[in-house]
Structure 1
Amino acid sequence: MNNLKKGYQTMKRKVLLLATAICTVSLLAGCSEKDGSTESSATGANASTESYEEYVTLGEYKGLDVQLIKAEVTDDMVDDEIDMLLEDNAVYTPISDRGAAEGDTVNINYTGKIDGQEFDGGSAEDFELELGSGYLLDDLESQIVGMKSGETKDLNVSVPADYIEDTVEEDAPDKDAVFTVTVNSVSEKSLPEYSDEFIAGVTDYKTTAEYEEGTKKELLASLESDNRSTAGMDALSQVMENSTFNGYPQELYDSCKQEYDAMNKMYAEMLGVDVADLDTDEEETKSTIESIVNEKMVCAAIAAAENISVSDEEYQKYLEDNYALYDYASAAEYEETESKESLMNEILTEKIYNFLIDNAKITEISEDEYYGDDEDLDDEYLDEDIDLSDDLLLETEDLHAAETESETAE
C-alpha cells in the first residue's frame, strides 16, 4: 500500500474492535515466560499461577453480568459472500483495441513528483488497479480512463497535503503534482454467471440453493463464535476490574512488549502506514503493555483456580480445525511455524472465555444495541486512538478487494 490510497470511508467500529480483540488474544498467547514448558499445558498453567500469585489477587469472576450479541445472518451478508465468490472467479481478458474504461483492470507504472521531486508513497511499478474502485486518488484514476496499453502520459493531479506530510495544519491547501503514468496492460473483467453449474464447479455444493443455505449456516456459526469471544473478552475485562495487582515479573513484561511491537508492525503493514503512525507516547504504551501483562496473570489465576488446562487431543484438534484459516497447507506446517506454547495459551484463553460466559448472567442484545452509533464512535476512536487519516482506512468489503489487488500487484 502507499500514501495515495484514498476514497474509503471509516471502518465499522465492530471491525476495529475485532482487530483489537485478535491483537489481545495473540498478545496473550505470545506472552509467556521463556523458561516455561511447551510440552505440558496443565503444568504450564499451574506453574504460571505459582509465579504470579505474589502479583495478582483474583477478584470475582463468577456471576458476572455479560451482554451477548445475538447472531443474525441477513440476506445482504449472503449476497456479499456470493459477490466475493464471483469476484474470486472473475476472468480477465487483455484489451488492445480501445482505451481503458471504468471497471477495467490496468497494470501501471507511475511516478509522482511535486516541484520536480519524487515523494514518499508516490511511485509504484506493475500496480494492478481496477478503475473506478477509488483505490488511488479519484483525480488520478479518472485521467487513466481512456489510456491504452503501452501509452505513457504526464497527469496533473491535486494531492491533499496530509498525503505528503504527517502533520499539517487544518484546511492546508492541496499540492500540485505531476504523475508520469505508463499503462502496461488493460484487462476487461468478466464475472461468471451465478448458476448451479458454476456452484458445482467451484464449491462442494451442487446448487445455488444448497450453497446459500450452507453459507447461512457457516456465517451463523462464525458470528456465534465471534460474538461469544467478544462476550468472553468483556467478561475478562470485568474480572480485571475486580482484581488487584502488585507489580509483575519483568521478564513477562519484556516478552509482552516484544509481542506488542510485533503486532503494531503487522497492523502498520496492513494499513499501509509507517509503524510510527501507530505509536503512542511512552507512558501510554507502557500502560497498554501492563494491561496485557495483567490479563495474562488473571488468565493464569483463573486457570489454576478452576483446573482449566489444554489436553494434547484439544491441541491437535485446534491445529486441524485452524491451519487452513491461516493459509497453511497442513496442520504440521502450522505447528512448525507457530510455537506449541503460544498455541496452547491461545486455546487456554478461549477456554477461559467460555468458562466465564458459562458462569455469567447473560443478556442477549442486538448488534446495534451493543455497538451503538457506529459513525460517531468511529470518528472518536480513530481520532484519539489511531490518529490516522480517514482516507487510509477501508470499509470491510473494500478491504477484501484492496488486499486482493495488493497481492496481484506483488
Structure 2
Amino acid sequence: MQVTEISSEGLRREFSVVVPKDDIDRRMNSRLAEVGATANVPGFRPGKVPLPVMKQRYGSAVRGEILEQTIQETIQRALDEKKLRPAMEPKIDLVTFEDGVDLEYKLTVEVVPEIAPIDFSSMELEKLTVEIPDEDVEQSIERLAEQQKTFTVEDARAAAVGDQVVMNFVGKIDGETFDGGSADGMELELGSGRFIPGFEDQLVGAKAGEQKEVNVTFPSDYQAENLRSKVAVFNVQINEVRTSTAVIIDDDFAITMGADNIEALKATVREQMGNEYLQLSRGRLKRVLLDQLADKADFDVPPGMLDDEFASIWKQFEEAKEKDQLDDDDKGKSDEELRERYREIAVRRIRLGLMLSEIGRTNDLTVNQDDINRAIAEQAQRFPGQEAMVMKYYQENPQAMQELQAPILEEKIIDYILELATVTERMVSTEELLADPEESSKADPGGKAKKSKKAKKARKAKKKAAKDKGK
C-alpha cells in the first residue's frame, strides 16, 4: 500500500492511497474460494467450482464487498502510518477500482488540533454551599400538605377563592367554538391560576346550578398562536362547589408520606432539598470551570466539525423562530448578526469538547461497566414501578447504553480537574444559589471562603502524576 500526501491546509489533510492489484486479486480469490465452498453451481460439486466460473457468477458482488473491506482496513493503516488522529469520519473519493489495475482512492481527513497542556492547579474556583433554614423545610412540607388537601361538596355555597368548582364550559371566539375551548366535568380551584387571567375571578360567588358568562382575552404570548390576544366568551355551567379541608401536619400526615413521624419527614425533606442544592451548586461550579477552560482554548477547530455544529444550532434557532419562541437576546437582530453569534457558540462547544476529550485521553479516564450500571440504576429510579422495564430497555438497546457513556465520562473529567484545582467554598443564601449566576455575581460576596480540604489533599496526591502525564 502506498500513501502519498497531496494536500495539507490547516487541520485538513488529503492523501492518495494506492492498494496494489495483486493485493486486491488475492483478497478476491480468497473470498471467492470461501463462497465456492458452499455455492450451488449447476454441473459442479460444492468446493469444486473453477475460479473463472466463480468470478463470472459472483465477481461483481464479491468486488463490492472487497472494496468496502479493503478501504476500511487501509484507512486505519494510513492513519496509523501518518500518526494522525481524525476529528471526524474521513471522507473517501474513489479514483479507480477496475479489473487488472490498482485500487486508488483519495482520503480526506480533518485531524484533532494540538492542545496545549493545562496546569489545573493554577485554576481557582468557588463552590457555593447552603445551610437549609428550618423555615424552608417547613414551607416545603406545607406545600406537600397543600397537594394532599381534600374537597367536600357544600350545597348552596357561593364559590370563594380556594374553593373548587366542577363545571362544564363552551368557549367561543367571534361566535365560533375553537379547539380546546370546551370541557365537561372540569375541576378548577379558584385562585390557582390554572386558567387564563380573569377566568377564575369571574367565577367567584357562583353557586351550583348557575350559568355564568365569562369574558376574557387570551394573553399575547399564549402558547397557541391562533388564540393570542383573541377575545373569547365562555358559557359556564357550575355543577358543584366544593370547600377544601386542610391537612393537619403531624405524625399521621408523615406516615401517609412514607415517614415514621414528622421529624423523620423533616429530615427526608431536608436531605432531598440538600441534594437538589448540591446539584445546583455543582452546575454553577461546572459552568465557571468550563468558562475558564474556554478562555484557555486557543486553537483552530476542524472546519467540518464547525460546519456540522453550526448547522445543528442554526436548525434549532429556525425551529424556535418558526414557533415564535426566540430568546429576547435574539429578537430584532439580523440573520447575519445571529449567524456570527451562533458560529462563535459552535466554536466554543467544539473547543471544550476537544479539550475535555484530550484531558480524558491523556489521563486514562474511562467509563467502566460499573459506571454504566450505576447510571442505568439511576435512570430506573426515576420511574417507580417500571424499573425492570427500564433495565430491559438499556440491555436491549446498545445505542441507548452508548449514549449514557458521554455524560459519565464528562463528569469524571470534571471531577479530575476539580481535585487538582483550588476550590474554595462560600456559604450563601438559597436565594443567591437559585438566582441567575450573572445577577448573583453582582451581589455582596459576604461569608468567609475556605479552602476545600478534599481539593487540597488531592492536589498534593495527584499534582506530580498529572505533570508526569503532561498536564
Instruction: Report the TM-score range of the alignment, normalised by the length of the smaller protein.
Output: 0.5 to 0.7
Aligned pair partner of 1:323 in 370, 380, 385: 380
Q: Which has the higher contact order (CA 8 A, sep 6+)?
A: 1
Deviation at 1:80, TM superposition (A): 3.0
What runs of 5+ residues in structure 2 fail to find an aligned partner? 1-84, 89-110, 440-471
TM-score (norm 2): 0.55
- The aligned residue for residue 269 of structure 2 is 215
> Bigger radius of gyration, 1 or 2?
2
- The aligned residue for residue 193 of structure 1 is 248
Distance in 2 separating the partners of 1:359 and 1:370: 29
Aligned pair partner of 1:104 in 151, 154, 163: 163
Distance in 2 separating the partners of 1:373 and 1:89: 27
Deviation at 1:332, TM superposition (A): 4.8
Deviation at 1:72, TM superposition (A): 1.9
The answer to whether 1:75 aligns with 2:134 is: yes
The answer to whether 1:352 aligns with 2:413 is: yes
- The aligned residue for residue 228 of structure 1 is 282
How big is each residue's C-alpha offset from its partner over 1:193-230, in whole Å with a ceiling of 9 and x where there is no partner? 21112212321x21111221232233223322431232
Deviation at 1:368, TM superposition (A): 5.4
How big is each residue's C-alpha offset from its partner over 1:142-166, in whole Å with a ceiling of 9 and x where there is no partner? 1112334564422233555565998
How big is each residue's C-alpha offset from its partner over 1:358-392, in whole Å with a ceiling of 9 and x where there is no partner? 221112224459959959967xxxxxxxxxxxxxx
What letter matches 1:349 in structure 2? E
What runs of 5+ residues in structure 1 fail to find an aligned partner? 1-48, 167-173, 379-410
Structure (1/2) with the larger strand percentage:
2
- The aligned residue for residue 43 of structure 1 is none
Deviation at 1:252, TM superposition (A): 8.2
Contact 1:104 1:188 in 2 (8 A): yes
Contact 2:149 2:247 in 1 (8 A): yes
Distance in 2 separating the partners of 1:372 and 1:221: 13
Alignment CA distance shift 1:223-1:159 (3 Å): closer
TM-score (norm 1): 0.62
Root mean square deviation, CA, Å: 4.2
- The aligned residue for residue 294 of structure 1 is 351
Alignment CA distance shift 1:81-1:117 (3 Å): same
How big is each residue's C-alpha offset from its partner over 1:81-110, in whole Å with a ceiling of 9 and x where there is no partner? 212321343323345543432112335555
The answer to whether 1:311 aligns with 2:311 is: no
- The aligned residue for residue 188 of structure 2 is 129
Deviation at 1:78, TM superposition (A): 0.7
- The aligned residue for residue 5 of structure 1 is none
- The aligned residue for residue 41 of structure 2 is none
What letter matches 1:66 in structure 2? L
Query: Share of identical aligned residues, percent?
Result: 24
Structure (1/2) with the larger helix percentage:
1
How many residues are aligned here? Answer: 316
Deviation at 1:242, TM superposition (A): 0.7
Distance in 1 separating the partners of 2:342 and 2:391: 31
Distance in 2 separating the partners of 1:165 and 1:200: 42
Distance in 1 separating the partners of 2:119 and 2:178: 54
Alignment CA distance shift 1:177-1:217 (3 Å): closer
Distance in 2 separating the partners of 1:115 and 1:90: 39
Contact 1:328 1:334 in 2 (8 A): no
Equivalent positions of 1:6-405 (< 5 A) are 51=87, 54-55=112-113, 57=115, 60=118, 62-63=120-121, 64-108=123-167, 110=169, 112-113=171-172, 115-116=174-175, 123=181, 125=183, 128-149=187-208, 151-157=210-216, 177-183=232-238, 185-203=240-258, 205-248=259-302, 250=304, 254=308, 275-278=323-326, 280=330, 283=339, 284-325=341-382, 329-330=386-387, 332-333=389-390, 336=393, 339-367=400-428, 371=432
